[in-house]
Amino acid sequence: MNAPWKSGMPGNRDPFAAYICDDAALDVLRPVVIELGWQPEKCNKGGLRNAIQSLSVSASPSILLVDLSESGDPLNDINALAEVCEPGTVVIAIGQVNDVRLYRDLLASGIHDYLLKPLSAGALRDAVAAAQTVFSSPRNADGEAAKRHISTAIVGTRGGVGASTLATSLSWLFSTDHKSPTALLDLDVHFGTGALALDLEPGRGLTDAIDNPSRIDGLFIERAMIRANDNLSILSAEAPINSPLMTDGAAFVQLEEEFRQAFEMTVVDLPRNMLINFPHVLADVNLVLLAAEMTLASARDTIRIMSWLKTNAAHAHIMVIANKVQPSVAEISKADFEASIERKIDFSIPFDIKAAANAAKMGQTFVEANRSSKASAVIKQIAERVMGASEEDFSTDEPAKKSLLGGFDLKSLLAKKDKNEKVGEPAE
């Protein structure tokens, strides 16, 4: 959930309020508040629950300091706080749980900062000063001053649908045809093919990042990423298959934050299992490209993933891309696929096994090795669409038009396929 205090102006309201659980923290806070010329009476006893109760019947302050120490479910309670806070409130949370994942999740939910107990006067002053800059800094709406960055995740609805081929080809196009500094993050830690498709050794950058998230900064990114061309760098791994992935996912979020500073484009090759295990990876993703194939299983999983995205990453725009399309031998027709997922397929990439084999032999991305193929032409259109991505372009997902047969669901498709197979006819 993106909390509503992320937008709006503070207006004519109290500059500050705090809801703190213990006297020791209040004793540190009050002198800092007096220093800043605020009323110490605004430092209230009681934590997050008290804040929610009070703010549900009174105006929110510009800066709100709230104690999570007595909260059994901080993220859920923060969402409850968001519902009673007016737009423009900057929230600083404090707590005693020193957990990187909680910290990342709180920031993703809209919290401005998270301070650990015991509090220090210096940390409080710094946090409040940073919160005050939110009101003095220029708004993104002012224009182009904000650095342009587009983050795109490619997710395959089934194994083998070509999501990695799409990820490497789009990354190549962004970096060459569009001259944009691009980062490719291949999150298939054990079996990723991103580096392989670029004829590179994956290196240890991604596994080092997972093992030591605290090391991730601009210098780490510069050293750990493998350069494919002047504008394209990749971070991937080929971890031993007897080594399970042991991480809370904090490294992935930190990597994306660093990419946002260092590159104009980020492409995340995101396996389905990572989507499930680390949903916060999508916190800052602008677009999700669902790579699908014209099969019943893929239609089913497209529906499931789209539903999951609407609940867990509602901010991200979805594009559905049918890959390896062979109309004459498709398990289900395009019309039936669109009717079942209740929206249009955005792009259809034709199947070209010779072109895929050619790319593998040459150690190049699909589009680089097959510049003139029909499949490459469609991938170039996708790249242009992503490069031009805006709120206006992707603000709505247009539902597919109803077929003449009415509401076509997966059950009817399965029944139709079963009937055709029984009488010896090919499925559509």
Separation in Å, CA 80 to CA 1, 15, 73, 245: 11, 22, 11, 33
Residue 154 shares a structural domain with residue 114? no
123 with 266, same domain?
A: no
pLDDT value at position 76?
A: 81
Residue 144 is assigned to a structural domain of this protein: no
**8 Å CB contact between 345 and 338:** yes
Q: What is the pLDDT at residue 307?
A: 94
Give tens-digit pLDDT for 314-336.
Answer: 889 999 999 999 988 889 999 99
Q: Is residue 300 part of a domain?
A: yes
**Tokens linked to 334:** 């395009």
Cα–Cα dist 155/312, whole Å: 15
Q: In this predicted structure, what is the pLDDT of residue 415?
A: 55
Q: What is the pLDDT of residue 110?
A: 78
Judgement on whether residues 97 and 166 belong to the same structural domain of the protein: no
What is the pLDDT, as a whole number, of residue 268? 96
Domain membership flag for residue 116: yes
Domain count within the chain: 2
- 168 in the same domain as 126: no
What does the pLDDT read at residue 163? 95
Given 87, 118, 139, the domain boundary residue is 139
Q: What is the distance between the alpha carbons of residues 330 and 358, in angstroms, rounded to a whole number?
A: 24
Based on the fold, state whether residues 123 and 223 are members of the same structural domain.
no
d(CA 183, CA 284): 14
- Last residue of a domain, which of 108, 139, 170? 139
Is the preceding omega at residue 118 within 30 degrees of 0, hence cis? Answer: yes
Q: Are 209 and 272 in a shared domain?
A: yes
Q: Kindly list the distances between the CA atom of residue 391 and the CA atoms of 284, 342, 397, in Å, as whole numbers in the listed order.
A: 14, 21, 12
3-state secondary structure 168-230: HHHHHHHHCCCCCCEEEEECCCCCCCHHHHCCCCCCCHHHHHHHCHHHCCHHHHHHHCEEEEC
pLDDT for 293 equals: 95
* pTM to 2 decimal places: 0.61
Does residue 383 share a domain with residue 356? yes
Please check whether residue 380 lies inside any domain of the structure. Answer: yes
Residue 237 has a CB neighbour count (10 Å cut-off) of: 24
CA gap 280, 237 in Å, rounded? 20
The residue among 103, 118, 139 that closes a domain is: 139
Do both 178 and 53 map to the same domain?
no
Residue in the structure block whose two tokens are 């006893």: 45
| 258 within some domain | yes
Domain CATH number, residue 54: 3.40.50.2300
Are 132 and 162 in a shared domain?
no
Q: What is the mean pLDDT of each run of 10 residues along the chain (428 residues)?
A: 38 80 92 90 90 85 90 82 80 86 78 88 88 63 58 94 95 94 94 91 87 84 89 91 86 90 94 89 92 95 94 91 91 93 94 92 91 93 83 42 40 52 43
Tell me if 76 is assigned to some domain.
yes
**Calpha distance 21→352 (Å, rounded):** 64
pLDDT of residue 138: 47
> Can you give the residue range of the structural domain that contains 130?
4-139
Q: Are residues 271 and 182 in the same domain?
A: yes
Same-domain status, 134 and 156: no
State whether 225 and 275 are in the same domain.
yes
Q: Which stretches does DSSP call E strand in 25-176?
A: 43-45, 63-67, 90-95, 113-116, 150-156
The domain spanning residue 230 has which CATH number? 3.40.50.300
CB of 174 within 8 A of CB of 151? no
The tokens for 50 are: 């008290």
Q: Residue 351 domain-assigned?
A: yes
pLDDT at position 224 is: 87
The rounded distance, in Å, linking the Cα atoms of 250 and 124 is 24
